[in-house]
């Protein structure tokens, strides 16, 4: 793979980051995952806007112009010949000369930027989407600024492991009895034709896919309600699904061992996946 590090395109084996990088020492950084379909980026505008917001909330500077960042994405897709897959981008608060909790002076310590591609042939046509996924619920014990896309992913990783151990695919997180989101996706249920997903706030990430899917749903005259819901309500729903840049729209067919609806991907989730893939291409 050819990767991008601080202004340079390099073979991945030659790419190096300092051991003092605050991303490495303190998870002091933000990231974005943008999908690639038919060699084209999906909603770069949305991802770059959220990146700028995440950086702003943490007083971190982007070490490159946004227009140039688009070119880096395109160049990596070209150099690595990606037809279907993802681009991972990470910006951290750079590498000061020593470990220190206080933020370094940004004039002395420029932020670090890294991008690499992940080739995923068959991503859009994955058989998983035809079967749907199973989830368990876990307590949401993440920090309180989940609207910022930080690289602090230990708890979501633990959540995926808890799911794996339980023999299922993923976990939905619950706070004060209400579902926040999936470990790496936004969560939805469908009841009597109505699509229900948690309202935005500091408790969840404002998914770029969520934004697009809700827009497409409204354009298709579907009703959308943005509010929180419980696991019991989700188990009793007609359908459930998740959205993210890497899974698009993914049906959920089981929650904590209870079958959702008919236990197969429901018509609304299937239709939204089709619309999303069609409109994004």
Residues tagged active-site: 149
**What CA–CA distance (Å, rounded) separates 23 from 30?**
9
- To ligand PDD, the closest distance from the beta carbon of 6 in angstroms equals 22
Choose which of 54, 92, 137, 186 interacts with ligand PDD (CB under 6 A): 186
- Side-chain-side CA neighbours of 111 within 13 Å: the count stands at 20
Q: Which of 227, 229, 278, 224 is nearest to 249 (CA)?
A: 278
Instruction: Identify each DSSP E strand in the chain by its residue range.
Output: 2-5, 8-11, 29-37, 40-41, 85-92, 112-119, 133-139, 170-175, 178-182, 186-191, 194-197, 223-226, 239-244, 248-255, 258-259
33, two tokens: 């995952």
Choose which of 48, 137, 197, 243 interacts with ligand PDD (CB under 6 A): 243
Q: Which stretch binds ligand PDD (CB under 6 A): 111-119, 183-191, 222-230, 251-259?
A: 183-191
Pairing assessment for the beta strands 112-119 and 133-139 based on DSSP bridges? unpaired
* Eight-class DSSP state of 83: S
Nearer residue to ligand PDD within complex by CB, 104 or 243: 243
**What CA–CA distance (Å, rounded) separates 278 from 53?**
28
Choose which of 69, 91, 208, 260 interacts with ligand PDD (CB under 6 A): 208
Choose which of 189, 237, 240, 245 interacts with ligand PDD (CB under 6 A): 245
Helix (H/G/I), strand (E/B), else coil: 149: coil
Choose which of 132, 207, 251, 261 interacts with ligand PDD (CB under 6 A): 207
Helix 208-219 / helix 44-57 crossing angle, nearest 10 deg: 130
Decide if residue 136 touches ligand PDD (CB under 6 A).
no
Q: Which stretch binds ligand PDD (CB under 6 A): 94-102, 203-211, 255-263, 271-279?
A: 203-211
Decide if residue 210 touches ligand PDD (CB under 6 A).
yes
Choose which of 48, 184, 197, 280 interacts with ligand PDD (CB under 6 A): 184
Decide if residue 185 touches ligand PDD (CB under 6 A).
yes
Decide if residue 112 touches ligand PDD (CB under 6 A).
no
Q: Which stretch binds ligand PDD (CB under 6 A): 13-21, 163-171, 241-249, 269-277?
A: 241-249
Per the CB < 8 A criterion, the answer to whether 98 and 75 are in contact is no
Q: Which stretch binds ligand PDD (CB under 6 A): 72-80, 177-185, 226-234, 261-269?
A: 177-185
Pattern of binders to ligand PDD over 19-38, x per CB under 6 A?
A: --------------x-----
Q: Which of 150, 151, 169 is nearest to 159 (CA)?
A: 169
Total of residues contacting ligand PDD (CB under 6 A):
14
Q: Which stretch binds ligand PDD (CB under 6 A): 73-81, 162-170, 180-188, 270-278?
A: 180-188
Nearer residue to ligand PDD within complex by CB, 92 or 186: 186
**What CA–CA distance (Å, rounded) separates 150 from 90?**
9
Pairing assessment for the beta strands 40-41 and 29-37 based on DSSP bridges? antiparallel
Phi, psi of 8 (to 5 degrees): -120, 140
- The footprint of ligand PDD (CB under 6 A) covers 33, 181, 184-186, 205, 207-210, 243-246
């Amino acid at each position: 793979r050819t990767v991008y590090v601080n202004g340079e395109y390099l073979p991945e084996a030659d790419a190096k980051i300092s051991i003092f990088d605050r991303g490495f020492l303190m998870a002091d950084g933000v990231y974005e995952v943008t999908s690639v379909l038919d060699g084209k980026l999906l909603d770069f505008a949305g991802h770059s806007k959220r990146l700028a917001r995440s950086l702003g909330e943490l007083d971190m500077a982007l070490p490159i112009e946004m227009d140039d960042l688009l070119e880096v994405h395109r160049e990596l897709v070209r150099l690595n010949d990606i037809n279907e897959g993802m681009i991972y981008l990470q910006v951290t608060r750079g590498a000061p000369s020593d470990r220190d909790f206080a933020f370094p002076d940004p004039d002395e310590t420029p932020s670090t930027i890294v991008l690499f591609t992940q080739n995923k042939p068959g991503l859009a046509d994955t058989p998983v989407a035809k079967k749907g996924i199973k989830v368990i619920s876990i307590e949401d014990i993440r920090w309180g600024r989940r609207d910022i896309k930080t690289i602090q992913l230990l708890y979501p990783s633990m959540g995926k492991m808890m799911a794996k151990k339980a023999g299922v695919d993923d976990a939905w997180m619950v706070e004060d009895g209400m579902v926040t989101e999936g470990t790496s996706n936004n969560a939805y249920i469908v009841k009597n034709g109505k699509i229900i997903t948690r309202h935005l706030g500091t408790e969840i990430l404002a998914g770029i896919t969520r934004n697009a899917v809700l827009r497409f749903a409204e354009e298709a005259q579907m009703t959308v309600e943005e509010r929180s819901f419980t696991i019991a309500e989700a188990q009793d729903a007609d359908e459930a699904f998740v959205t993210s840049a890497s899974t698009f729209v993914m049906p959920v067919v089981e929650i904590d061992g209870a079958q959702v609806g008919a236990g197969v991907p429901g018509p609304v989730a299937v239709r939204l996946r089709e619309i999303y893939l069609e409109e994004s291409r």
